[in-house]
Amino acid sequence: MTAPWYRQKNITEIAASLRTALGFGTAADQDVEDFATPDDLSALETSVNAAIAALTLDVADAGNLSSGTVSDARLPARLGETPSDITDWNNISANGWYRANGAANAPMSGWLFGQVIRHNASFAEERLTALSQTEYGSRPTYLRHCYDGTWEPPKRIYQTAEEIKSIVTDSVKAWVRFYWNGTSVSILASKNVSSVVRNGVGDYTVNFASALADGNYAMSGSVSQRPDDINQVPVFHSDAGSGYRPGSFATASSCRVGFENRAGGYSDPNYEASLIFVR
């Protein structure tokens, strides 16, 4: 029985076995001088280089790993230097960074980019930010959640003082400051009010410039007085002279208000009335 080549002592005995082990074929009948020809060495070099190229980590990668980094070439596109492009925000199947312009199920139009964190196919979170669009001096950011396989409506994240202020100002759909000057209505300032019409003494209709969603909004008001004026309070109803009728005084396009005085009658706000409409 012939011992393995690495246990053989005589170089002549080793030659044939070593050639076979290196893939050069059998050469039991060849002398030691024939052990390695220039062509054999060239073939060996080619094989070794190919094996090195096939390694998943090269020297540079090993250095990067030891310093805590991995080259972009070794990362999937979703974790690369730039976000991966997608067409539907509901169809992302892996964690990573993504971007899209006008993709399906986006919380707003235009370019968005963001991070996706998935627990599994049924639970995920997306944090998306607009690339160039601005609202209230900031680029909008939205949070989306997939819960038990169903995507919930996106939620706007308010991050700046201006954005937080918008929550209050946007809920105020209309307001107006006005008074009766004896011959006409004078509007001092307003938001979303096209006109204030005097129907009769102490009876006014506020018309909105842009209609509200419906007549289900809250109303409030106050009246400024001079010391010699009769105290007044604004009352919201359909007709200052015929009493309150629910639902008939407020519509999507206007609201009727009367100014009742402490004597039980109605009088015009001849100094200043302030009305606000919130939804």
CB 225 within 8 A of CB 278: no
Could you list the beta-strand ranges (E) of 26-110.
84-85, 96-101
For residue 172, name the pLDDT band (cuts at 50, 70, 90).
confident
Distance CA 139, CA 151 (A): 23
Eight-state DSSP code of residue 3: P
pLDDT of residue 89: 93
Contacts of 136 (CB under 8 A, 6+ apart): 160, 162, 163, 165, 166
Q: Torsion over CA of 59, 60, 62 and 68, rounded to 10 degrees?
A: 170
Predicted confidence (pLDDT) per residue in 35-87, tens digit = 556 666 677 677 767 766 665 555 555 555 556 666 667 777 787 778 889 99
pLDDT of residue 45: 72
Predicted confidence (pLDDT) per residue in 178-236, tens digit = 999 999 999 999 999 999 999 988 889 999 999 998 888 888 888 876 555 556 677 76
pLDDT of residue 222: 84
Predicted confidence (pLDDT) per residue in 100-148, tens digit = 999 999 998 999 999 999 999 899 999 999 988 877 777 888 999 999 9
Tokens of 106: 């986006």
Contacts of 262 (CB under 8 A, 6+ apart): 230, 231, 232
At residue 279, does pLDDT exceed 60? yes
pLDDT of residue 147: 94
Residue 255 backbone phi and psi in degrees, to 5: -145, 135
For residue 239, name the pLDDT band (cuts at 50, 70, 90).
low
At residue 6, does pLDDT exceed 50? no
Q: Bridge partners of 145?
A: 125
3-state secondary structure of 63: helix
Q: Bridge partners of 189?
A: 177
List the domain boundaries for the chain: 5-53, 76-159, 170-278
For residue 176, name the pLDDT band (cuts at 50, 70, 90).
very high
Q: Bridge partners of 147?
A: 150
More confident site: 235 or 177: 177
At residue 97, does pLDDT exceed 60? yes
pLDDT of residue 99: 93
Instruction: Give the residue-averaged pLDDT of 1-8.
Output: 50
Distance CA 277, CA 210 (A): 13
At residue 10, does pLDDT exceed 60? no
